Structures are given as structure tokens and as C-alpha cells.
Amino acid sequence: MWSRSLSLLRAPLRHSITQKAQITDKPAKHHISAGEQVFVMTVMFLTILGPSGWILAHLEDYKKRP
């Protein structure tokens, strides 16, 4: 019984095809200016760390809630 289960689990692994990554060494098609890079990094920073910073800044208020 166990050998049949194992063979059923191994079957998809034998026939799986992995694709190679499309890696090229060409220069970028579109040049991004330093201002655009700063803007994007700032938006990402605020999007990811903003909510957690808000929670940590108001942690005492959340502790006082019933």
C-alpha cells in the first residue's frame, strides 16, 4: 500500500519540466532617472513600513482598549 502511494506521489516529479530563466546581459530598454528611483523607493518604503510604524507608535492606545 505504501509503495503504491509513494509511486503516485513521485510520478509528477519525474515528468516535470522546469523552464530556464530569461537572463540577458543587454542594457535596459528604458532609462529610469534618479528622481523616479527616489520616488519609487519612497512609495515602497511608506507602503511596507508605514502601517507597522503606525501600529508601533499607537501601541499604548491599543493596549488601553477593552
| Predicted structure pTM score | 0.48
Q: Which of 2-6, 54-58, 61-65 is least confident?
A: 2-6
Report pLDDT for 36: 96
Confidence grade of residue 1 (pLDDT, cut at 50, 70, 90): low
Report the sign of the C-alpha dihedral through residues 37, 43, 48, 53, in that order: positive
Give residue-wise pLDDT tens across range 8-33: 677 666 666 667 777 777 888 889 99
Alpha-carbon distance of 44 to 42, in angstroms, equals: 5
The answer to whether residue 64 scores a pLDDT higher than 80 is: yes
